[in-house]
Amino acid sequence: MSDVSGLRDEAVGLLSALIRFDTTNPPGNELECARFLADWLTERGLSAEVIESGAGRGNVTALVPGDEKKKPLLILGHLDVVPAGDLTKWRRDPFGGEIAEGCVWGRGAIDCKGVVAAQAVALAELTRIGNEGERPVRFLATADEEVGGKAGIGWILQNRPELADCWASITEGGGEVYIMGQRRFASFMVGEKGQLRLRFTIQGTQGHAAVPLNDQAMYVLGEVLRRLEKLEPEYRVIPSNRELLDQVLSGSGLERKYTRRLERGDGRAWSKFLNLAGGMAVRMPQIVRAIYTDTLSPTMVEGSDKINVIPGEVILNCDCRLLPGSEPEDKLAKIKKLVADLPVEVTVENAHSASISSLDHPVVETVRRLLPEWEDGLELLPTICLGGTDSRQLRWAGYEAYGYVPFPSEPNLKDMPSRVHGVDERLELEIVGEITRRTLDLVRELRRR
Ligand SMILES: [Zn+2]
């Protein structure tokens, strides 16, 4: 069944079936989906196991055996999905798994059941092929990725660490193809930004709305927000974002003029670069900016719960993402200083540093080598993931973890950001087939390393 259309049909069928399990997280409820997937793998000769990590929570693991002296390659995906949101906006049932208009439709089609289906079919095919003398391959489809992985990869690392023990892992997060002029680049995630969730508690005097007071917490909130908005971005060039900069500059012929200025953090050079890179490559200057700076987004506000009561306290929450080398405590100190003269207390809700894997690993080298074999002229572009995936926890546990799904460059999913976590999530059948074929190829190559 090695032919492309056979692999595609099998992966499409599996993906459609996985989507029909509503694994919206919270609460997750991945267990039934996990049982189904484990049976599917077992029927195809893999030794699969369902790992229960809580009531209704299920993870699946399976092993393609090999040379036991070698640590396994970990192929990782997740079974939970984000909520479908406003159902009336969807053109098709988000949990229908419909195959229509050349696509498989539903929540999770891309993130991450499409990836899981491609991985599972590739591993089933690998089992059929055999080759026990090569590196073993461990498959893991986790619960709970979308809300931080406590009942998923975190639970496994704590309670069944042998299932995550690996030579290196590959999961979602990269693979989107950026087109710059005549050149095409497959993004490859070598790290993830850190996170700092802040709570600003703003004090004022509570009172009757009919008698406006002078020290209202709401107006202090306005001042806090103005100062946060005016925070100058500090651009930094680091190994995990260096190559994008070099490629964009060389593609535009501007490298001699701009490289030094960008490295120095020159704001005018950066705004020119962001527009250039946003237009050429990654579609939005804002995405490029987030690759080169720490970010801060105010997201939640709590004030009075009555319209006629002036609140004595207002709470503002902000979500910050930090580049490697930017530590949460330094960022916190900077922000505290910014509002030091105001009646505001800044506290940390949650924080962790960025995580990063080696750029110099056989996984990186192998993907770099395979890309032009899959598609003439396709090149690797190492970069950093702006959001979060299960990779982070694997890196904390000491493993090399990479985010890469072998998407073809055509059809180019320009609307990927609105499909993933948005409405009308769907994946083209030919893409399902192609990522399955390339995943199989990649895993076969890596088994020999
Ligand atoms: Zn995901």
Question: What is 34-81 written as a DSSP string?
Answer: HHHHHHHHHHTT-EEEEEEEETTEEEEEEEE---TTSPPEEEEEE--B
**CB 256, CB 269: distance < 8 Å:** no
Which residues of 110-263 form beta strands (DSSP E)? 137-142, 168-171, 177-180, 183-192, 194-203, 207-208
Please report, for the chain, the start and end positions of each structural domain, with discontinuous segments joined by +.
4-175+383-447, 194-352
Distance 369 CA to ligand 1 centre (A): 26
Distance 104 CA to ligand 1 centre (A): 17
CA–centroid distance, residue 9 to ligand 1 (Å): 23
Contacts of 387 (CB under 8 A, 6+ apart): 173, 192
The pLDDT of residue 2 is: 57
> Whole-angstrom Cα distance, residue 10 to residue 309?
61
CB 126 within 8 A of CB 64: yes
How far does residue 351's CA lie from ligand 1's centre (Å)?
A: 20
Cα–ligand 1 centroid distance for 74 (angstroms): 16
Q: Which amino acid is at 368?
A: R
Instruction: Quote the ligand 1 centre to 115 CA distance (angstroms).
Output: 9
- Tell me the CA–centroid distance for residue 111 and ligand 1, in Å: 5
Q: Which of 80, 111, 400, 428 is catalytic?
A: 80
Check: CB of residue 414 under 8 Å from CB of residue 283.
Answer: yes
How many CB atoms lie under 10 A from the CB of residue 93? 15
Distance 112 CA to ligand 1 centre (A): 5
At 288, which helix (H) or strand (E)? Answer: helix 285-292
Return the SS3 of 234: coil
Active site residue 145: yes
Instruction: Identify whether 80 is a catalytic site residue.
Output: yes
Among 10, 134, 145, 390, which one carries the catalytic annotation?
A: 145
| 30, 33, 35, 36: CA torsion to nearest 10 | 180
CA-to-CA distance for 279 and 396, rounded, in angstroms? 35
pLDDT by residue, tens only, the chain of 449 residues? 457 889 999 999 999 999 999 999 999 999 999 999 999 999 999 999 999 999 999 999 999 999 999 999 999 999 999 999 999 999 999 999 999 999 999 999 999 999 999 999 999 999 998 877 899 999 999 999 999 999 999 999 999 999 999 999 999 999 999 888 788 899 999 999 999 999 999 999 999 999 999 999 999 999 999 999 999 899 999 999 999 899 888 888 877 788 999 999 999 999 999 988 887 655 678 888 999 999 999 999 999 999 999 999 999 999 999 999 999 999 999 999 999 999 999 999 999 999 999 999 999 999 999 999 999 999 999 999 998 999 999 999 999 999 999 999 988 777 777 788 889 999 999 999 999 999 999 999 999 99
pLDDT score at 280:
67
What is the assigned CATH class of domain 194-352? alpha beta
| Cα 387 to averaged position of ligand 1 atoms, centre (Å) | 10
Architecture of domain 4-175+383-447: 3-Layer(aba) Sandwich (3.40)
User: Tokens 């990186």 map to which residue?
Assistant: 364
Q: What is the pTM of this model?
A: 0.92
pLDDT at residue 121, rounded to an integer: 98
What's the token pair of residue 17? 């079936």
Same fold, 4-175+383-447 and 194-352: no
pLDDT attached to residue 331: 97
pLDDT given for residue 285 in this prediction: 85
Q: Is 9 helix (H, G, I), strand (E, B) or coil?
A: helix
